[in-house]
Amino acid sequence: MPQSRLISVSLVFSAIAVLALLAQDHASDSGYAPANSCAACHRAIWDTYRQTGMGRAFSLPSAQTVTIGTYYHEPSQSHFTILDRGGRYYQRRHQINAAGSETNLLEKSIDYVMGSGNHARTFLHRTPRGTLVELPLGWYAEDGGTLAMNPGYDAPDHEDFRRSISYECMFCHNGYPRIPSGHDQPFAEPVYLDPLPQGIDCQRCHGPGSRHVAVAGTAGAERGAIRAAIVNPARLPRERRDEVCMQCHLETTSFPLPNSILRYDRGPFSYKPGEPLSASWLFFDHAPGAGRGDKFEIVNAVYRMRKSRCYVESQGRLECRSCHDPHAVPRGEQARRHYDAACRQCHAAANTRHPAQLRADGDCASCHMPKRRTEDVVHSLATDHLIQRRPPGNATAPRAERHERGETAYRGEVVPYETGKPEPASERELYTALAQVIERSNLTGGIPRLRAALARSPNARAEFHLGLAEALNAAGRLAEAMPSYREAAKRSPRSAFVVRKLGVALRQSGRLDEALPVLEAASGLATSDPVGWHELGLLHRARGDLTRARAAFEKAIALDAERPEPYGNLGALLLAGGDPERAGTALREAIRLQPDYADAHDNLANLLAAAGDFPQARTHFEIALRLRPNDARTHYNFAMALGRARLIDEARQQLESAVRTDPAFLDARLVLADLLLATGQPRDAIPHLREAVLLDPASSRAQLGLGMALAAAGDPNAAVPYLRKAAAAAEASIREAAAKVLSQLGIPQ
C-alpha cells in the first residue's frame, strides 16, 4: 500500500476517534453527535446531502442568502427595508406620518436565515432572551427572487416583529438545538442555546449518532456492530420508514385546526426514527364533507400523495423514496429523466395513451404532478403530490392571502388522521376530544366530548383539564370553567403557565383578592417571565393598587423591552393617574413596537385631545378605527374630542356608530341624545332616551333627558312622569333642571 494511502487511513481513524470523544460530550443527555461527525466516513454522501434543501434549511446570513431591497406593505401602511452594513444584515420598518416624516421606526438584526431558497427564505432575529423572532419581510424564489410579506403578515394587523419561532417550527427547519433545562415541558417559552445547528443533519433520519460514531472509532469494531449502532431507514418496516419522512413532510393543514398535537409526555425534539410517529405526534384533519378535502398547501406533500390512486393501489410499494433520494437532488434534465424512470416502474411507456412523441420524451411530472400556487404561502409554487390524470387548470394564477380567523375560521369537527395502525380508542380519545376545542374549531361538540373523556380518565394530565377550562372560557362560560382551571393547577402546581391561567381566570371573573396569591405564585415560579409580571400588573390595576401595578408593568418591560403590551398598559395607567408626559412616552413606544396596537392609539388620541392637539388626536383616532372599525368605545372617545372641537356633525356620526356597534352603550346614547336636544332635534333624541331608560331605569339623567325631549316634542303629558322622577334625584343639578322644566309646563311641585 502506498505511504500516502496509509497516512490517509490514519487521518480518517484519528478524525473518527476525535469525533467519538466530541460525540460523548455532546450526547451526555441526548445521544446526538456533532452534525459533522458523519463526514469523515461518508464524505461523498455528506457533500451531496449538504446541497439538498434539508441540508441548506437553516444558515447564517450571507450575501448569497440575504437580498437587499425595499418593500411597501399597503394594508399596514409600512415600509420595509433589508440593509447590509459591513456584512451585518438588518430588517427595518417605518411608516410615514401626516407631515411626511418617518415614524414608528423599528430595526432588528438578521441573525439567521430559515429556508433553503428552493421556495423561500425567512429572516430571523435572536433576542437577548435567547428566543427567535420571525421578521415580517421574506424572500421568495418566484420570478427570479422577490421580497414580500411572510405568510400571515399580509394584513393590516399582524405580529410584525413579534412572531416567535416555536419548537415545532424549528423541528422541521433545522437540526436539533439545545434548549434550557425545563423548556421541554408543555407551554414552555421556546428558548435556544448557542450554538444553533446549521441545517438539518443526518441524524434527523438516522437517529442519534453518538453511539455509532463511538463504535466506529473503536479499534477492531465489527462492521455489523457499527451498522447496528445507527438507524438505517431503508431497513425499517415500511410503515416506520414512511414516518421518517412524515415527521416533517406531513402537514394536514397550516391553518388553525389543529393539524397535530405533541403528546404532553414527550419533549419537542424527542421523536427518533424507527419508533411510531404517533408515539410523539397525533395528527388531525378537517372532517370529510367540510369543503376542505382538496386543500393544497406548502407542506402537505405526503398528505396529497396518500390521496393519490397510484399510492392507494400500490399497496405500499409507492413511497417517498420511490422518487426521492434524501442524500442528493437531481436537477435539470437529470431530474426529468430520474422522475420519469420512477413513474415507469409502474407505467411502462408502451402502455400509456399518450402520443408516440410524448411517450418517448417523457416528463410525466409536469402534467400529472404540476407545480401549483399554494393556499397558505401564496408567493410560492410547489409540486402537487396528488398524482392526477387531469390536474386543475390555471394552477399558478396569483391569489390573495387567506386569513382564517373569526368568522372565516373553520368551525366543524376535527377528525384523527392516521399515520400508521390506529391506536386503541382509549389512548386516542382524550387527544381527539382536545383537538375539537384547542383552536375553537368545534366548541359545541368538543366541550361535552372532552368533559366525558376526562370523566373516564381520572389520571389525565393537567393539560387536558386546562384545555377544557380554556374551551369553556372561549364559549363565554367562565364560571363553569373555574373548577377545571383549579383542577389543572392542582395537578401541575409547578407549571407557571398553568398556574397563571388560573390567576387570569380569577381576575376575569372578578375574584381579585383570590387571584393575587395565585398570580404572585406564577411569577415566583418563573421570575424572568415578562408575561407573568404583565398579568400581575393588570391584576394590581384592577384592584386599585396603582403603585404596584406600575412596578409590575415596569418589571415586565425590564425583562423584555420588545413587548408592546406592558408599555401600552403602563401608558394607560399613567394617563389615568394624571401623568400625561410619561403616559405619552409609554404609549408612543407601544405604537413604535406595534403600529397596529389599537388601544394604544386610542389612549394616545385621548391624551392629545385633552392637551388641545386635536389634529394629532384625530390621526390616532382614525388609525384605531381603521384597525378596529367596530370598537364602540373608540367611536365614543372620538366623538367627545370632536365635540370639544365644535365639529358637531362628525361627533354625531361617531356617536351613532358607537350606538350601532354596541346598542347597550348607555353613555353613548345619553351623549347622542344631549347633542340632538342641543341642536333642536328632540324627536330624534326620544328613541335613544327611551332605550337608555330601559337599559338603566335608575338613571336620573336618562329620566330627565326623556322628559325634556318629550316636552320639547310637544307631548307634555308623557313628559311629566319622567320629569317627576328626575325631580326626586339625588343629584342637585338634575333636580333643579327637572323642577325648572316642570315649572315651565305649569306643573306644581
> Are 396 and 299 in the same domain?
yes
Q: Is 527 a member of any domain?
A: no
Of 389-393, 536-540, 669-673, minimum mean pLDDT range: 389-393
Evaluate whether residue 156 is within a structural domain: yes
Mean pLDDT of 133-141: 97
- The whole-angstrom separation of Cα 609 and Cα 588 is 15
pLDDT-derived band at 27, boundaries 50, 70, 90: very low
C-alpha to C-alpha distance for 683 and 123, rounded to whole angstroms: 60
pLDDT of residue 747: 84
* Domain-embedded: residue 100: yes
> In the prediction, which pLDDT does 357 show?
62
For the beta carbon of residue 79, count every other beta carbon within 10 angstroms: 16
Average pLDDT over residues 732-749: 89
Instruction: Report which of 663, 238, 194, 678 is spatially closest to residue 420, judged by C-alpha positions.
Output: 238
Q: Is residue 16 over pLDDT 50?
A: no
Q: Which of 439, 488, 445, 475 is nearest to 261 (CA)?
A: 439
Decide if 584 is inside a domain: no
Summarised one tens digit per residue, pLDDT across range 114-125 is: 999 999 999 999
What pLDDT score was predicted for residue 391? 81
Residue 278 belongs to some domain of the structure: yes
- Report the C-alpha gap between 301 and 384 in whole angstroms: 7
Of 384, 414, 444, the residue that ends a domain is 414
pLDDT level of residue 366 (50, 70, 90 thresholds): confident
**pLDDT band with cut points at 50, 70 and 90 for residue 20:** very low
pLDDT tier at 646 (50, 70, 90 boundaries)?
Answer: very high
Average pLDDT over residues 439-467: 97
Mean pLDDT, residues 148-154: 95
Residues 73 and 44 in one domain: no
Residue 601 within any structural domain of the chain: no
Q: What does the pLDDT read at residue 641?
A: 97
Confidence of residue 344 (pLDDT cuts 50, 70, 90): confident
| 308 in the same domain as 171 | no
What pLDDT, on the 0 to 100 scale, is given for residue 11? 40
Number of domains in the chain: 3
When pLDDT is cut at 50, 70 and 90, the band that residue 424 belongs to is low
pLDDT single digits (tens) 574-618: 999 999 999 999 999 999 999 999 999 999 999 999 999 999 999
Do 101 and 26 reside in the same domain of the chain? Answer: no
Same domain, 246 and 320: yes
Q: What does the pLDDT average to over 322-326?
A: 93
Range of the structural domain that residue 168 is part of: 58-200
Domain ends where: 216, 251, 283?
A: 216
Q: Are residues 17 and 72 in the same domain?
A: no
Q: Is the pLDDT of residue 385 over 70?
A: yes
Tell me: do 34 and 103 sit in the same domain: no
Q: What is the mean pLDDT of residues 621-633?
A: 96
Q: What angle do CA 31, 35, 41 make, to 5 degrees?
A: 95
Query: Closest Cα partner for 209 from 20, 399, 471?
Result: 20
Confidence of residue 112 (pLDDT cuts 50, 70, 90): very high
pLDDT at 8 over 80: no
Q: Do the Cβ atoms of 587 and 571 come closer than 8 Å?
A: yes
Q: Is the pLDDT of residue 468 over 50?
A: yes
pLDDT at position 359, please? 59
* Each residue's pLDDT tens digit, 660-686: 999 999 999 999 999 999 999 999 999
- Beta carbons within 8 Å of 49's beta carbon, 6+ residues apart: 55, 202, 326, 327, 328
CB of 271 closer than 8 Å to CB of 247: yes
Dihedral of CA atoms 56, 57, 61, 63 in degrees, nearest 10, equals 50
Query: What is the band of 361 on the pLDDT scale with cuts at 50, 70, 90?
Result: low
**pLDDT tens digits, one per residue of 62-106:** 999 999 999 999 999 999 999 999 999 999 999 999 899 999 999
The answer on pLDDT for 347 being more than 90 is no
Assess whether 320 and 354 both reside in one domain.
yes
Q: Give the H/E segment covering residue 718.
A: helix 716-727
Q: 734 lies in a domain? A: no
Q: What is the pLDDT of residues 43-66, one digit of tens each?
A: 999 999 999 999 999 999 999 999
If you average pLDDT over every residue of the chain, what do you get? 92
Q: What is the pLDDT of residue 426?
A: 62
- The SS3 of residue 586 is helix
* Per-residue pLDDT at 392: 83
Q: Are residues 153 and 126 in the same domain?
A: yes
User: For residue 5, is pLDDT > 70?
Assistant: no
* pLDDT above 70: residue 18: no
Contact 200, 56 (CB under 8 A): no
Do 25 and 74 fall within a single domain?
no
pTM for the full predicted model? 0.90
**What pLDDT does residue 14 have?**
46
More confident residue, 746 or 594: 594
Are 398 and 251 contained in the same domain? yes
Q: Is residue 747 part of a domain?
A: no
Whole-angstrom Cα distance, residue 19 to residue 28?
A: 14
What span, in angstroms and rounded, lies between the C-alpha atoms of 728 and 707? 13
**Residue 493: band (very low, low, confident or very high) from pLDDT cuts 50, 70, 90:** very high
Instruction: Report the half-sphere exposure of 650 (CA within 13 A, side-chain side).
Output: 14
Q: Is the pLDDT of residue 356 over 70?
A: no
Confirm if 131 and 100 have CB atoms less than 8 A apart. Answer: no
The reply to whether 247 and 393 lie within a common domain is yes
- Tell me what the mean pLDDT of segment 372-397 comes to: 92
pLDDT score for 423: 62
